[in-house]
Homo-oligomer: A and B are copies of this chain.
Amino acid sequence: MLNFDFYNPTQILFGQGQIAAIAKQIPASARVLLVYGGGSIKQNGVYDEVLAALADFTVTEFAGIEPNPSYETLMRAIAQVKAEKIDFLLAVGGGSVIDGTKFIAAGALLEEDPWTILEKRGNNIVAAMPFGAVLTLPATGSEMNSGGVVTRKSTHEKFSFMSRKCFPKFAVLDPSKTYSLPTRQVGNGVVDAFAHVMEQYMTYPVGAKVQDRFAEGLLLTLIEEGPQALANPDDYDVRANVMWCATLALNGLIGAGVPQDWATHMIGHELTALHNLDHAQTLAIVLPSMLRVRKEGKRAKLLQFAERVWNLSGGDEDTRIEAAITRTEEFFEQMGVKTRLGDYGLGAKDLDGILSALEAHRMVKLGEQRDVTLDVSRKVLEMSL
């Protein structure tokens, strides 16, 4: 096991009816800015429940955080925070809203241009405003971690940042609020969570038995419950399991003490920035080819994955490995997320642009062994055509 430093102070209020509990978590005299995206929270009752819970606070709103939240939008929110002397932020939505709120929380207290947060990957954050989250879309895990991803539209750049100042004070996870999610978002969320686990699990063995078994437990649960969430949208326990899986997939726990990959995510970010694909779509395209291209370096864990997650024990090693990757691909397709560049109208003509973007962003030695060069990334993308 590798050495690690694990810290996660976010309080999780999980279950039906927990939105009502947020008032106790916010300082009594706080001036609260409600940060949200489009109108879905007004249709599923979350908006009304949140306002009812905040009846005793001064509340203003910032709507319009888009999927893949943009620097441009978030800078307008920071201006509002300053103008209205806001001292507590409440993110209501999915990962994009929560990521955006983290950027607002840190950017509002920064002396320099908040874009530097992305240039410096969060290392220049010295303080952040306190904020909470009401999660409506299980996917990114942002509700219980300290990272975020922000896109600058003007330059087609999508960067991540992380800072221990950026943990939500609390997050409300009410599975019943996910019943009304569109099918596409349910599928995307399950694929996103699955890929998060894989980035931390599918590397090489370091004898970390607990982390491996926790990761496998999340993968098995996503495989069982993901299709159920599509088939029976109102099943509370199914939604609860998917929601808790997505949070635990990226709260730091399964990644503590093990190598981590993240090459799939880095290539995926370029695909979203250049071609506006959903984040989960990019992961479904890149991950299977990434595993095939890097089979040798990941052989031991791929065999473990085949046996423990897909229950594949017959045949030779390469057969089992290929079967496990194929099953993974089929699972993504079953969740309604297509796994080929061609499914999204992209082709060989687009690869140079993606590779140029990776090079421009210095993404030239990716992965747990730093051996995913541009040549390897090209092979991965070619295999995903």
Contact = CB atoms under 8 A, between A and B. Distances in A.
Interface in A17-35: 17-18, 21
Contacts of A244: 1, 210, 257
A210 to B, nearest CB: 5
A16 interface: yes
A308 to B, nearest CB: 11
A206 B213 CA distance: 21
Nearest to A5: B13
B240 A207 contact: yes
A193 to B, nearest CB: 11
B14 A6 contact: yes
A248 interface: yes
Interface string A219-249: 0110011000000000011001100110010
A342 interface: no
B1 A5 contact: no
B217 A256 contact: no
B237 A1 contact: yes
Given A1-B237, A18-B3, A210 B245 contact: yes
A146 to B, nearest CB: 13
Interface in A335-360: none
Interface in A309-341: none
Contact of A16 (B3, B15, B206): B3
A225 B1 CA distance: 14
A66 to B, nearest CB: 30
A218 interface: yes
A213 B222 CA distance: 12
A11 interface: yes
Interface in A258-317: none
Interface string A188-207: 00000000000000000011
A217 B219 CA distance: 13
A327 B9 CA distance: 38
Contact of A220 (B18, B213, B218): B213
A214 interface: yes
Given A213-B220, A213-B221, A237 B207 contact: yes
- In the complex, which of the residues A6, A18, A207, A216 has the most CB atoms of chain B within 10 Å of its own CB atom? A6
A213 B308 CA distance: 12
Given A3-B18, A9-B9, A225 B241 contact: no
A209 B256 CA distance: 22
A59 interface: no
A313 to B, nearest CB: 14
A16 to B, nearest CB: 7
A46 to B, nearest CB: 17
Contact of A11 (B7, B10, B216): B7
A186 to B, nearest CB: 17
Given A15-B257, A213-B220, A213-B221, 11 more contacts: A1-B237, A3-B16, A5-B12, A6-B12, A6-B14, A7-B10, A8-B9, A209-B224, A213-B217, A214-B214, A240-B257
Interface of A: 1-18, 21, 175, 206-210, 213-214, 216-218, 220-221, 224-225, 236-237, 240-241, 244-245, 248, 253, 256-257
5 contacts: A5-B11, A7-B10, A209-B220, A210-B244, A213-B218
**Interchain residue pairs A-B with the least CB separation, the first 8:** A3-B15, A213-B217, A207-B237, A9-B9, A7-B11, A1-B240, A6-B12, A209-B221
